[in-house]
Amino acid sequence: MRLLTDADLDTALTRLFRARMKLGMFDPPERVPYAQIPFEANNTPEHAVLALRAAHESIVLLRNARGMLPLSKDVKRVAVIGPNADDEIALLGNYHGVPSNPVTLLRGIQQKLPSTQVSFALGPDLAENMPAFEPVPASALRPDTTGSDQGLRARYFDNLKLKGKPTLARIDSSIDFNWYLEPPAEKLAGGVFSASWEGWLVAPDSGTYYLGAYGFRQFKITFADSELVSFKGRTNPRLRYKKVRLEAGKLYPICVEYRGIEPYTQQRASLQLVWSRPPAVREREALATAKSADVVILGLGLSPRLEGEERRIEIPGFKGGDRTDLKLPQTQEEFLRKVVALGRPVVLVLFNGSALAVNWAAENVPAIVEAWYPGQAGGTAIADVLFGDANPGGRLPVTFYKSVDQIPAFTDYGMAGRTYRYFRGQPLFPFGFGLSYTRFRYSDLRVPGTLTTGDSLQIEVTVQNVGRRAGDEVVQVYASAPRAREIRWLVGYKRVHLKAGEKRRVRLAISPWALAWVNADGKRVLEPTVLNLSVGGKQPGFRGMADAWTTEVLTTQVRLEGQKVVLE
């Protein structure tokens, strides 16, 4: 290890300012094309189509025992359960834009099955000391202390100060609003307004609750005559909450104040009054919901509330936004096992931004879908996959290890044992893994017998969809070499869509940079040697569950000849 030199700093500084210059950050605005993009070019129908396509293509089918998926749309009763099943936050990662019309898993399934009984239950907490939330229902809100009316007394003002005569006064059954889509009144359609709600909250069960709000741009909750939480933001919605002790049937005064977006900003005015009820109550309800369903769809996994940069959390499995374990959080793991024990067909949909060691689920849950943080159209895309309107073709961009014990310590900066390039163990699911609802066959692989170092490699292979459904195949090319330290490395790939029975000749041009490896001196080199190649829909060499059975791999060799080439 050595200290940085002035030359190292100069190199980094040059790269930084070159990028800034290319972005036009030192040019007059009229010369910068990015500065000419109007508001109207944001959130267009074309963007919505692209968001759905991105979600479709990123979904990875990890397990599909006995062809459980896709599900029939004729199913009578579907239970959608889990802390991520109806949570907008689970659609979005860190450093994200704010979607105008986010579709959660629950909403996507409801839209997919308008004639089916779709029941929802929140189920377990995200993790120990990380509660899961749902909107406070109308049944827990009262506009006054007499009578049986539900909801809160609402007043809407055409300014941001809660001043003057209200533009609108009414009873709102709950506070669960996306005003970008459904403004409270035509005059308030721009989101530049303020509102207040007053009334009483009554809990159905005694116990410890978490009460708060999720929204943008500014809100404050006064509960039992004291300020509970407040928030004033500049960019994205936030969740704020506190622990409260509630007695069943007792009326608690509550006041919620809201101030919307600033004029001439393209942001989304929204607000939810949310709570987290006692876990035992939620679990009991969720298991009853699952037991009465024909199929159970679980939305579990992680959340940007758990993983991300500089999170102020320290709970089992997580520390400051980093992960200390790869397992599904214990609260969810225990609940998952209880649901499976009911004997109902179960589909596990995972929301996460990093790998999960779902070892028990991989052995006991018949269908597992990796959705990641799928964005604004995530719920629509997942429902399309679950019910056969889209065929999953995504591949894992990371290795899913079986345990954190399989990888080196976080403080070890060496590459040995890290990533698919250097990991010699048996993963749960390898990099590049992904199943399909159809099957693909490879044949007639052609590569040159020899290749001069520094030249591009031309590869041709025939890929055929031998199943009954159209689908996407991701043709992956991996290389290995005796002199390389890596086990293998991905040198190229191409995604192709094939109709049922369709056969296509796929061609890939692999650059010298992609073929090269890094030697012991840290140089990227190509040297005379025998290059081993595998071409197919997965990595070679895995067995059992880690071997994607819906695709194939062909192998061959190319002899590199010529002089040693060092690539900068």
> Which residues sit opposite 403 in a β-bridge?
none
The reply to whether 46-122+280-390 and 438-567 are identical in fold is no
**Candidate CATH numbers 1.10.3720.10, 3.40.50.410, 3.40.190.10, 2.60.40.10; the one for domain 438-567:** 2.60.40.10
Q: What is the pLDDT of residues 35-62, one digit of tens each?
A: 888 888 889 999 999 999 999 999 999 9
Compute the average pLDDT of residues 511-529. Answer: 93
Confidence of residue 514 (pLDDT cuts 50, 70, 90): very high
* Per-residue confidence (pLDDT) for residue 398, from 0 to 100: 98
Query: What's this model's pTM, rounded to 2 decimal places?
Result: 0.95
Q: What is the pLDDT of residues 196-232, one digit of tens each?
A: 999 999 999 999 999 999 999 999 999 999 999 999 9
The fold of 46-122+280-390 is: Rossmann fold (3.40.50)
Compute the average pLDDT of residues 404-427. Answer: 91
Mean pLDDT of the chain: 95
Confidence of residue 370 (pLDDT cuts 50, 70, 90): very high
* Per-residue confidence (pLDDT) for residue 35, from 0 to 100: 87
Helix (H, G, I), strand (E, B) or coil at 237: coil
Q: What is the pLDDT of residues 142-175, one digit of tens each?
A: 999 988 899 999 999 999 999 999 999 999 999 9
Looking at per-residue pLDDT, the higher value among 8 and 52 belongs to: 52
158 secondary structure, DSSP code: S
Is pLDDT at 1 greater than 70 in this prediction?
Answer: no
User: Domain boundaries in the chain?
Assistant: 6-36, 46-122+280-390, 134-276, 438-567
d(CA 192, CA 189): 8
Is pLDDT at 311 greater than 90 in this prediction?
Answer: no
List all residues 6 or more positions away from 24 whose beta carbon is below 8 Å from its beta carbon: 31, 32, 33, 34, 35
* Per-residue confidence (pLDDT) for residue 302, from 0 to 100: 97
Confidence of residue 236 (pLDDT cuts 50, 70, 90): confident
* Per-residue confidence (pLDDT) for residue 562, from 0 to 100: 96
Q: What's the angle, vertex CA 57, arms to CA 53 and CA 63, rounded to 5?
A: 140
Helices (H), 318-451: 330-341, 359-364, 378-386, 419-422
List all residues 6 or more positions away from 125 whose beta carbon is below 8 Å from its beta carbon: 83, 131, 132, 276, 279, 331
**Candidate CATH numbers 3.30.1370.60, 3.90.550.60, 3.10.180.10, 2.60.120.380; the one for domain 134-276:** 2.60.120.380
Cα–Cα distances (Å) from 257 to 16, 18, 180, 222, 264, in that order, read: 44, 47, 18, 8, 22
Confidence of residue 321 (pLDDT cuts 50, 70, 90): confident
The backbone torsions φ and ψ at residue 555, rounded to the nearest 5 degrees and listed phi first, read -125, 155
d(CA 275, CA 292): 25
Nearest partner of 347 among 85, 32, 74, judged by Cα: 85
Cα–Cα distances (Å) from 383 to 177, 362, 387, 406, 471, in that order, read: 23, 21, 6, 34, 16
Nearest partner of 551 among 60, 53, 58, 68, judged by Cα: 60
> Which residues sit opposite 127 in a β-bridge?
130
In 302-366, at which residue ranges do the beta strands (DSSP E only) sit?
314-315, 318-319, 322-323, 346-351
467 secondary structure, DSSP code: S
